[in-house]
Amino acid sequence: MIPIAKPLLGPEEAEAASRAVLSGWVSQGPEVATFEAEFARYVGADFACAVSNCTTGLHLALLGVGVRPGDEVITVSHSFIAGANAIRQCGAMPVFVDIETDGYNIDPTAVELAITPRTRAILVVHQMGMPCNMPAILRVARNAGIPVVEDAACAAGSEIRLGDTWRRIGHPLGDVVCFSFHPRKVITTGEGGMLTTNRADLDAAFRLLRQHGMSVSDTARHSSPQVVFEDYPVRGFNYRMTDIQAAIGRVQLTRLPGIVARRRTLATRYGEKLALVRGITAPNEPRWARSNWQSYCVRLAEGIDQKALMQAMLDRGVATRRGIMNMHQEAAHGDLPTVKLPRSVSARDTAILLPLYAQMTDADQDRVLSVLDSSLAAVRRRRTTRPLGLVDTP
């Protein structure tokens, strides 16, 4: 079976986890602090704050930029449900907008049209690792004086070109950037997340809120030569990353450039070979973007049954996933005002994700392509063959 994804983990990660365990400090501690510093340097941010996962990171980011009950946050529906969940956890309401016509990222024009006096933030998503059009988003946001949160859950290692300069996603263009280290992502700590920002006030707020609102961290208290009593000036959360996770994350970060390079090679190879496959449209990478290709999403021609194709491929030993979900189509947010987002709906229902991971060999990829081709043929035959027993009637 060829899986849709596979984390790249080895003896080095096991040794790093063992080091943290044997140190006697396994909760948030020195490994977390070092991971934060190394991650900030890698992306080019002034600050990085580790958290338990990207969903908690989104929650803290939205709180940090001022989202409160009764506010509105403009975001794309075509993304994982955590985005809307985090908005509503703040007591605010998501305002869903559609994706661009030529990709899977938020439409800046739709964002501008959705702004109201209640808009408190714009939450954009670098979907499947592909950078969204940040210059256009930032023009809209700055004209309206609205902060921008970047959901970069899938985008570790991706880059965007601004003028003549390439910047890694995580070098904040908006106010704060949120990453995920779930095993489905390019690098993993099992679970885990990271917030990057260039604003000292936001970083301080994240660090306070992630640890119960505690005025003095436990690491500072335990290392102090004098007795320290902490207090709790605000209500916070337990959104901490463990030192075991951070130790693994530090090794994963060293692997990231090589992982991204391999994924980009595989994506290029997919694109070249899929150009010869009838009924499949490969994804487009803008000239100003360098995706880490966290997922490789192809569109199906009209008339190709998405689920039937996926099942045919699974039966032949290749896993796929359907197009990215839409939050406005889920019952969890069915109480929100009805919206029409035709491009998002079409993308979910006419796209599939093909396997892509750093350990994938050319032979593995060729097998995926062969199975895709034979499965397309089988689905087409099924569609054009009349069921037995039917006869023409005059």
Q: How many CA atoms lie within 13 A of 344 on its CB side?
A: 23
Q: Give CATH 3.40.640.10 domain extents, the chain.
A: 11-254
In CATH terms, is domain 11-254 a member of 3.40.50.970?
A: no
pLDDT confidence of residue 385:
62
pLDDT confidence of residue 394:
34
CATH (one of 3.90.700.10, 3.40.1160.10, 3.90.1010.10, 3.90.1150.10) for 256-382: 3.90.1150.10
pLDDT confidence of residue 227:
79
pLDDT confidence of residue 163:
93
Q: Give CATH 3.90.1150.10 domain extents, the chain.
A: 256-382
Q: How many CA atoms lie within 13 A of 1 on its CB side?
A: 8
Task: Tell me the catalytic residues.
Answer: 185
pLDDT confidence of residue 391:
37
pLDDT confidence of residue 207:
97
Render each residue's pLDDT in the chain as its tens digit; 394 residues: 999 999 999 999 999 999 999 999 999 999 999 999 999 999 999 999 999 999 999 999 999 999 999 999 999 999 999 999 999 999 999 999 999 999 999 999 999 999 999 999 999 999 999 999 999 999 999 999 999 999 999 999 999 999 999 999 999 999 999 999 999 999 999 999 999 999 999 999 999 999 998 887 777 767 777 877 788 888 999 999 999 999 999 999 999 999 999 999 999 999 999 999 999 999 999 999 999 999 999 999 999 999 999 999 999 999 999 999 999 999 999 999 999 999 999 999 999 999 999 999 999 999 999 999 999 999 998 877 645 433 333 3
